[in-house]
Amino acid sequence: MASDALLRLQGVVKQFGHFTALHGVDLDIHEGEFFTIVGPSGSGKSTMIRLLVGMDELTHGAIWLRDKRIDETPANERPTCMVFQSLALFPHMSVGQNIEFPLKLRNVPAADRKSRALELLDLLRLPQSYYSKRISQCSGGEKQRVALARALAFDPEILFFDEPLSALDYRLRKTLEKELKDLHHRTGKTFVYITHSLEEAMVMSDRIAIMKDGRFEQIAVADEIYSRPVSRFVAEFMGEVNLFEVSTEDGSTLSGAGLTGNAPSGLAAGSKGLLMVRPEYIRFVADGGTADYTVKGRLLEEYALGSRIQYEIETTEGQTLTVEKLREDRTTSALGGEVTLGFDEANTHLIEGD
Ligand code: ADP
Ligand code: MG
C-alpha cells in the first residue's frame, strides 16, 4: 500500500456487543510526530489505543504500519509499546531490573541489558547509581522516568501513552509534560498520546485529534483547533469561548444574539451559523469607540486569574459572555453596570450551520 504514513487506520470499527465504540475511524500518523488524541471520558480513546497496540481486536477495518498490515499481528510482535496511567513497575525490584525487564523477556544477554539500562538512565537524566536503587525508594517523578526508560528499552518505533500523568499532582504533571516533550525531541520517536486535558495536549503535541462518541471531530495542529474549530463541540472543548447564533436573510444584514454589525463574509444569504470569538479578543468599548461588532450587556462578575482578569457579562438577549483582559487593561466599569463590548471580524471564526 502506497502511503507516507507510519501508522494508518482505515475504517476502524470496534463494537462491544450492540454498542459501537468506534465508528469507522480513518487516521494517518506520521513518523516522528507527537500526536495527541483528546476527548471526554468514554469517547473511545483507550479503545483505539488498545487496538493499536494489539490488546484488543477490531470488528472491521485495517491498521497499517508503513506497508504492512498489522491488525492481526500479536501485540508482542508489534514494534510498539504502551505506557499506562498506573505505572505498573515492580516495586520489589531495582530500577535496573525494571528497565531491563522487557529485554530479559526477549532473551537479551545480561551484559547488553545492563549497558542498555545505563544508557537509558542517561537519556532520562537519572544518575547511573539509580541502577541498583529500589523502586520503593524513588519519588513519583523518578518512577515515571523509570517507566519511560523501560518503555524505551527495546527501542519501539511508536510509544503509546494512555493518560500517564492524570493521577499526578499539578506541579509534577507540568514538569513531566515538559520532560516528555523533550524526550520526544531527543529520541525522534513517534509518540501517540491520550489525554482528556486539553492543556496537556496543547503543551506537547504536533497535532491534536478531538474525539467525540467514537469519531474524530477534528484533526489539526493546536493553533488551528483553537482558532478555527469545526464545531461547537470542539470550540467549547478548547477552552473558554463565546459563540453567537447568527443568521442573515440578504447576506449583509446580521441578525441574532443582540449583535450589531454586518453579516460575516462567510455567511451566505438565507443561512445561519455560529460566530466565535475567544475571550481575549473582546474589548470594552467606551462612548464613541468602534468595533466591527458590538453587543450591549451588564457586567456580572470579575475574577482575578493572576496576570489576567476574567469578566462575565450578560447580554440584553440573556447570553453569558466571557471576556479576558490583562490586569493592566482591566476595565473601570462597575459591577452591575451597563457595558458595551466590541470585537473585530478578523478575530472571529464562523462555524457554518452548526
Ligand atoms: P475513553 O478512554 O475515551 O474514556 P473508552 O475507550 O475506555 O473511553 O470507552 C469508550 C466506550 O466503550 C465507553 O462507552 C465504554 O463504556 C465502552 N467500552 C470500553 N471497553 C468496553 C468493554 N470491554 N466492553 C463493553 N464496553 C466497553
Ligand atoms: Mg481511557
Q: What is the pLDDT of residues 116-155, one digit of tens each?
A: 999 999 998 899 999 999 999 998 889 888 988 998 998 8
Q: Which atom of ligand 1 is nearest to the CA of 50?
A: 6
Nearest CA to ligand 1 atom 1: 42
pLDDT of residue 154: 84
First-last CA distance in the chain: 37
H helix intervals, the chain: 45-53, 95-105, 110-123, 140-152, 170-187, 198-204, 222-227, 232-237
Instruction: State the ligand closest to the CA atom of 164.
Output: 2
Q: Of the candidates 209, 211, 143, which has an alpha carbon nearest to the alpha carbon of residue 179? A: 143
CATH code of the domain made up of 7-232: 3.40.50.300
Nearest CA to ligand 1 atom 25: 16
Output the pTM of the full model.
0.86
pLDDT of residue 2: 45
Which of the residue ranges 2-6, 52-56, 69-73, 168-172 would you say has the lowest mean pLDDT? 2-6
**Mean of the pLDDT values across residues 160-164?**
90
pLDDT class for 239, splitting at 50, 70, 90?
confident
Beta strands 60-65 and 68-69, pairing class: antiparallel
Q: How far does residue 47's CA lie from ligand 1's centre (Å)?
A: 6
Beta strands 7-16 and 19-29, pairing class: antiparallel
What gap in Å lies between CA 164 and CA 159, rounded to an integer?
A: 12
pLDDT of residue 166: 81
| Biggest CA-to-CA distance, the chain | 79
pLDDT of residue 289: 80
What gap in Å lies between CA 322 and CA 75, rounded to an integer?
A: 47
- Residue where the block lists cell 532520562: 124
Nearest CA to ligand 1 atom 12: 21
What gap in Å lies between CA 265 and CA 282, rounded to an integer?
A: 19
Q: What is the dihedral of CA 187, 191, 193, 197, to 10 degrees?
A: 50
- Residue where the block lists cell 515515571: 144
- Residues above pLDDT 90, as percent of the chain: 73
Determine phi and psi for 7, rounding to 5 degrees. -125, 130
Q: How far does residue 304's CA lie from ligand 2's centre (Å)?
A: 34
pLDDT class for 87, splitting at 50, 70, 90?
low
What gap in Å lies between CA 225 and CA 36, rounded to an integer?
A: 12
CATH 2.40.50.100 maps onto the chain at 240-352
Q: How many CA atoms lie within 13 A of 247 on its CB side?
A: 7
Q: How far does residue 19's CA lie from ligand 1's centre (Å)?
A: 9
Determine phi and psi for 228, rounding to 5 degrees. -135, 60
* Residue 84 pLDDT exceeds 50: yes
- Counting every residue, how long is the chain? 354
User: What residues does ligand 1 touch, defined as CB less than 6 Å away?
Assistant: 16, 19, 21, 39, 41-47
pLDDT of residue 86: 54
What gap in Å lies between CA 6 and CA 242, rounded to an integer?
A: 38
**Mean of the pLDDT values across residues 173-188?**
91
Contact between residue 97 and residue 116 where contact means Cβ atoms under 8 Å apart = no
Which amino acid belongs to residue 207? Answer: R
Contact between residue 12 and residue 22 where contact means Cβ atoms under 8 Å apart = yes
What gap in Å lies between CA 177 and CA 162, rounded to an integer?
A: 14
CATH 3.40.50.300 maps onto the chain at 7-232
**Mean of the pLDDT values across residues 214-236?**
94
- What nine digits make up the cell of 242? 463565546
* Residue 6 pLDDT exceeds 50: yes
pLDDT class for 12, splitting at 50, 70, 90?
very high
- Residues above pLDDT 70, as percent of the chain: 98
What gap in Å lies between CA 115 and CA 123, rounded to an integer?
A: 12
Nearest CA to ligand 1 atom 21: 16
Within its chain, how far is the Cα of 66 from the centroid?
Answer: 25
pLDDT class for 115, splitting at 50, 70, 90?
very high
**Mean of the pLDDT values across residues 143-171?**
88
Task: Determine the Cα angle at 26 with ends 65 and 23, to 5°.
Answer: 125
CATH code of the domain made up of 240-352: 2.40.50.100
